[in-house]
Amino acid sequence: MSTRKLVCGNWKMNGLKADSVALVRALAERMAAAPPACDVMVCPPFTAIDRVVAAASGSAIAVGGQDCHAAASGAHTGDISAPMLRDLGCAAVILGHSERRTNHGETDAQVRAKAAAARQAGLVAIVAIGETLAQREAGETLRVVAGQLRGSLPEGASAADTVIAYEPVWAIGTGRTPSPADVAQVHEAILADARAIMGETKSAGLRVLYGGSVTPANAQSFLTLASVGGALVGGASLKADQFWSIIQTCP
């Protein structure tokens, strides 16, 4: 577990092999010239992980997956297991992203089983939670994220093997964000809930990332908050200069 903040790029379903390698090389060059104050990770599509791991080798860039199956192996056509990600050189995997929850109907129970599998395989589970616009407008944000957190964390989860990503669904890819004060309120509630779920010792140092329309222009306003342990960046992580600018705002 690190006490440094973590800036993680979620590349989603973007980039062919050459694009992915060029992007990670550009990032590695910038990081070699000016080592950042935070940990840096990129989560390429499955098809590019092998090459991105090779291109990132020797740099401080960690690589993660964007999803995994709850089983280690078996008759699951089209799925990828946590040990397979680990075998490729991944250090972590994003689980329960709202695009998985919406497009693939993933439930908290499934996310929890995947997080347990990730842990078993030696991967850090980056568990994503967040409310919809309707839930926010109905004043249900804290109740929704508390429920997702409790439902998605596996038995025995600790800050050493778990990162939480708070991503309001309405902020993803929209250019809209909560205010830093709103983000701080939700992150403080998540940290308190995590203490209650994991216990004081296991939750110590837990990193809660903010995600949703993070840009070079707004990154500092989130990353300088004490309750924000880093950022999960989508669109802006696909441009080396933008992602690098975000990383550099880390205190």
Q: Catalogue the active-site residues.
A: 97, 167
Scanning 116-124, 165-173, 221-229, 239-247 for contacts with ligand 13P by CB under 6 A, the matching segment is 165-173
Of 157, 233, 247, 250, the one binding ligand 13P (CB under 6 A) is 233
Residue with the closest Cβ to ligand 13P? 234
Strands 39-43, 162-166: pairing kind: unpaired
What are the structure tokens assigned to 227, written together?
Answer: 């309750």
Applying CB under 6 A, does 65 fall inside the site for ligand 13P? Answer: no
Residue from 130, 211, 229, 230 that binds ligand 13P (CB under 6 A)? 211
Site stretch for ligand 13P (CB under 6 A), options 48-56, 69-77, 156-164, 166-174: 166-174
Least separation in angstroms between CB 184 and ligand 13P = 19
Q: Which is nearer to ligand 13P, 86 or 97 (CB)?
A: 97
Does 234 help bind ligand 13P (rule: CB under 6 A)? yes
- The verdict on 232 binding ligand 13P (CB under 6 A) reads yes
Tell me which amino acid residue 57 is: S
CB 128 within 8 A of CB 167: yes
**Contact region with ligand 13P (CB under 6 A), list: 104-112, 186-194, 206-214, 221-229:** 206-214
Query: How many angstroms separate the CA atoms of 48 and 15, rounded?
Result: 8
Q: Does 229 interact with ligand 13P (rule: CB under 6 A)? A: no
Bridge partners (DSSP) listed for residue 100: none
Find the part of the chain contacting ligand 13P (CB under 6 A) among 75-83, 112-120, 183-191, 210-218. Answer: 210-218
Q: What is the DSSP string of 32-97?
A: HHS--SSEEEEE--HHHHHHHHHHHTTSSEEEEES--BSSSSSS-TT--BHHHHHHHT--EEEES-
The DSSP result for 190-227, as a single string, is HHHHHHHHH-HHHHTT-EEEEESS--TTTHHHHHTSTT
Q: Considering only residues 55, 68, 214, 247, which one is a binding residue for ligand 13P as defined by CB under 6 A? A: 214
> Is 213 near ligand 13P (CB under 6 A)?
yes
| Residue 218 lies near ligand 13P (rule: CB under 6 A) | no
CA distances, 109 to each of 20, 104, 106, 192, 200 (Å): 32, 14, 8, 21, 24
Q: Which is nearer to ligand 13P, 96 or 154 (CB)?
A: 96
- Number of Cβ within a 10 Å radius of residue 83: 18
**CB of 39: closest distance to ligand 13P in angstroms?**
16
Closest CA to 214 of 195, 238, 200, 232: 232
* Nearest-angstrom CA–CA distance, 49 and 43: 8
Q: Considering only residues 173, 199, 205, 251, which one is a binding residue for ligand 13P as defined by CB under 6 A? A: 173
Pick the closer one to ligand 13P by CB: 202 or 209.
Answer: 209
Which residues are near ligand 13P by CB under 6 A? 10, 97, 167, 172-173, 211-214, 232-236
